[in-house]
Amino acid sequence: MSGPKCSSYILTERQRRLILEQQEIELERQTIELQRQKDVESVRNNISELIKIVDELDEQLKLAHELYSRTGDAQAFINRSNELANNIHSIVESYNSNSNDAEISSIAKKETDACVKYAKNERITLRSELIAIKEKLDNTIATDIDKGFQYSHSVNTKPHHTNIDITEYTNEVISRLIQLASQNLPGGLNKEIDSAINKMSGIDNMDFLRNFNALTISPLEKKCRTYLSDYEQYSEVYYSLLARNQALSELLNVASMSVCFSKDTIRELDEANRVLEKKLAAVAEESYIAAAIDEVMSEMGYTVLGSKLVQKVGGRRFRSELYSFEDGTAVNVTYSTDGKITMELGGLSDSDRPPTSKESTDLCRDMERFCVDYDEIESRLARKGVVLNEAIYRMPPEEQFAQMINVNDYTLKQKAIYMTSKRDRLQGVKKRRECNI
């Protein structure tokens, strides 16, 4: 019975359930750790964004202070800008000085998120006020130039347009866009809003304004409202699926999906997660079966001599563990990627060669002795929840299956004792020679 044996094993329902429960626990732990890392990254990105906004405020305040020094106007703008800058500085100093990522929590993320949202909303409002400041400053400069004043600051000296209808129309549209921007829109839509506001602020023709509103603003508003509606309904599902995808990918050591929120990406994430879950379950089952075999072999007195990895041209991979049987012989256990497990007994050699006639006879006797062990191996595996799924082939202990195993093909963990071609039949003792690795 105990020539080469190839079988496939599966887990009992109870053991599979236990593994899935452990897998969920590990996924939860991994998800929490990944979320903490994301919080740290988000805080760092928020701090960078806030610093950029402060730099922009500094440039805007130069114009406002210039107007204030000339006319006494823009005081409200200056106060509001300074208040925003002070709030930003408070948050930046609080978290930017904290270099220990482990101390950055989800609370820090919420605080910096809120500050970024507040700062962006204020920035949009201040930008609309800055338009009026620039116009007043242009008019003041035009008057000063007539008096011989040389203004050194680079500003837009476009003649002031006094059409009240255009101003009111522009402010009304900008107000709607600012309200949309104050909500939870992605960066891409916020950039579109910023761009639309900047373009609209430079238009001084009512007909052109209405066309711009119809062709650019209205579609943009519709896109934003659709996004916000979908986000309100499905964002919780999206973030849950995204976190699970990242945790699954981390455990499987594969790249996670990088997708922005939308109903389509929710479906993509769900489908991808199902595939990853099945793969992770298969990997966990294979790992458990391999560990169970290793435990059983160890319990029965087998020790691991070495191991090797083989990849065929077609991509199939094989992993082999070499377990000592008796001095000069070993059992080679090979795991293939299709779930098959093959056990073969052979003599140990330091070269690729066939066994001699005497070695074949001795190996055949060893196969018969291993037969008893093999039955015990399967019995002990069953007690660990690993049962036979299919006996693909089980060859008898015949000399035609005798083989020599070249230990040089393996990464050895301990000394290997070779089987020699000379046998002392009278004493029944195998002669050996030891190889130091």
Structure tokens at 92: 């930046």
Nearest to 88 by CA among 120, 110, 42: 120
Q: Which residues contact 358 (CB under 8 A, 6 or more apart)?
A: 421, 422, 423
The pLDDT assigned to 164 comes to: 63
pLDDT score, position 223: 94
Task: State pLDDT tens for residues 13-63.
Answer: 999 999 999 999 999 999 888 888 888 888 888 899 899 999 989 988 988
Could you tell me the pTM of the whole model? Answer: 0.68
Token readout for 184 is 């939870």
The DSSP H or E segment spanning 57 is helix 13-71
Q: What is the pLDDT of residues 212-233, one digit of tens each?
A: 999 999 999 999 999 999 998 9
**CA–CA gap between residue 279 and residue 273 (Å, rounded):** 10
Cα gap 409→403, rounded to integer Å: 15
pLDDT confidence of residue 429: 43
- Supply 168's token pair: 């009111």
169, 217 contact by CB (below 8 A)? no
Contact between 265 and 240 under an 8 Å Cβ cutoff? The reply is no
State which residues of the chain have pLDDT below 70: 1-2, 96-105, 142, 144-164, 314-315, 420-437
- The whole-angstrom distance between residue 83's C-alpha and the CA centroid of its chain comes to 39
Phi and psi dihedrals of 264, rounded to 5?
-65, -40
Instruction: Give exposure, 232-245, as e/b (b: 16+ Cβ within 10 Å).
Output: eebeeebeebbbbb
| Digit-coded pLDDT (tens) for 155-197 | 444 444 445 678 888 888 888 888 888 777 888 898 999 999 8
CA pair distance 213, 220, nearest whole angstrom: 9
